[in-house]
Amino acid sequence: MLDARQSHILSLLRRQGPLSRQQLHQAMKLRPNTVGQLVDGLIRAGLLCEGPPQPDGPGRPRVPLEIDPQRRQVVGLALQPGRVGLATFNLHGLRVGATRSSAAKPATIIDTAASLLRSVHLEPVVAIGVSSTGLVDERTHQLLLSSTTARVEPVSLQPLFDIAGSCPLILENDLQALAVQWLLTHEAEANDDILLISIRDGAVGAAVLVNGRPIRGCVTGGNELGHTRLPVQTPTCYCGHTGCLERICSSEFLHMQHNGDSNITLADAIERYRGDDGDLQQVIHLLGIGIGNAITLLRPRRVVLASEFNRCTAYTNALLEAIRRHMLSTLVERVRIDLWDRQSVEFADAAAWLALASIYNRLGADRV
Ligand SMILES: [Zn+2]
């Protein structure tokens, strides 16, 4: 793993673009020799490269250093219900090749993930991010409770760690990985306390960032958002209950309102919404209660709603209004709500950002 000063150099170059050794020395307040040694180590490791020298007044031309886009890579591996996805990124956060995906049954999901990871040439890989739905335990390398394995007892992820060998493997819940991706791609706004909420058909989840860093320990609290129970009849949730927010926010719930005599999807209903669909209005109202409650309890400075549904303006405005109506009124002015329009959530990409975050030193203090 990199030391904190090397991560700092990479972080500066990532945010500010190419810098010379002299500029790094000024920015970091380290002795020029120390900067030189750190930079040489990063160049040898394939993380940095030198650009063509730029004339810079009298004296030696300055040599711009930049993050090497070619020699090194990170890998993201995401375990989702029914499938495993794998993405490879360069150190600039650009995808290298196509994202790969394999269907997987709950009983064989770890084997499927292992064979996908085994097919990757690990030599240029500097870090591997692995994400899964549910609760993960990084210390014991286990999935404690996850919709991907559909089992109540823990499942070992050790086969993935064995394949990774000496390459660092960072394990997180899938929404924490998504929060890390948001953090790294919205760098300028990273120092807030943030509640990130992901809304999909049949899946509502959350992650919490404090001082711009994802915090573990709140994973449980975040995940519970989708399992906030409201007094309405819904299909039974995989957690065993009915009335869960993520069962309300689903096509199935819309079908139930018509005794199964409708096959409209949630996405279609949202697309067509002009304020006149009573069933969707009820979904929006109940989502507003659940999210409004979460904001009132956590009091973050900023809320990020991540959803492909955000591009539908009438629905989004109605949802924002419903959330504000159910928040503590003193928080309405104070909490900023941002919309992150994601065309499609690709958790393998988010897992790759998790690996990048380990290089750029943007994980929680306990993970550095
Ligand atoms: Zn539930």
Strands 135-137 and 142-145: antiparallel
Domains of the chain, CATH where assigned: 4-67 (1.10.10.10), 73-180+347-367 (3.30.420.40), 190-341 (3.30.420.40)
Cβ atoms of 279 and 286 within 8 Å: the answer is no
Alpha carbon 93 to its chain centroid, in Å, reads 13
**Ligand 1 centroid – CA 106 distance (Å):** 18
**Ligand 1 centroid – CA 236 distance (Å):** 8
pLDDT digits (tens, 9 = 90+) for 98-146: 889 999 998 999 999 999 999 999 999 999 999 998 888 888 999 887 7
**Ligand 1 centroid – CA 241 distance (Å):** 6
**Ligand 1 centroid – CA 295 distance (Å):** 19
Alpha carbon 330 to its chain centroid, in Å, reads 30
pLDDT digits (tens, 9 = 90+) for 134-185: 888 888 999 887 778 877 788 999 999 999 999 999 998 888 888 888 888 8
Mean pLDDT of 200-205: 89
Backbone angles phi, psi at 302, to 5 degrees: -140, 140
Confidence of residue 217 (pLDDT cuts 50, 70, 90): low
**Ligand 1 centroid – CA 76 distance (Å):** 27
**Ligand 1 centroid – CA 239 distance (Å):** 4
What per-residue confidence (pLDDT) applies to 365? Answer: 42
**Ligand 1 centroid – CA 36 distance (Å):** 54
Confidence of residue 367 (pLDDT cuts 50, 70, 90): very low
Mean pLDDT of 66-88: 95
What per-residue confidence (pLDDT) applies to 343? Answer: 61
**Ligand 1 centroid – CA 235 distance (Å):** 10
Confidence of residue 259 (pLDDT cuts 50, 70, 90): confident
- Over 80: is that where the pLDDT of 335 sits? yes
**Ligand 1 centroid – CA 360 distance (Å):** 35
Strand partners, 146: 151
Please work out, in degrees rounded to the nearest 5, the angle formed at the alpha carbon of residue 244 by the alpha carbons of 174 and 239: 65
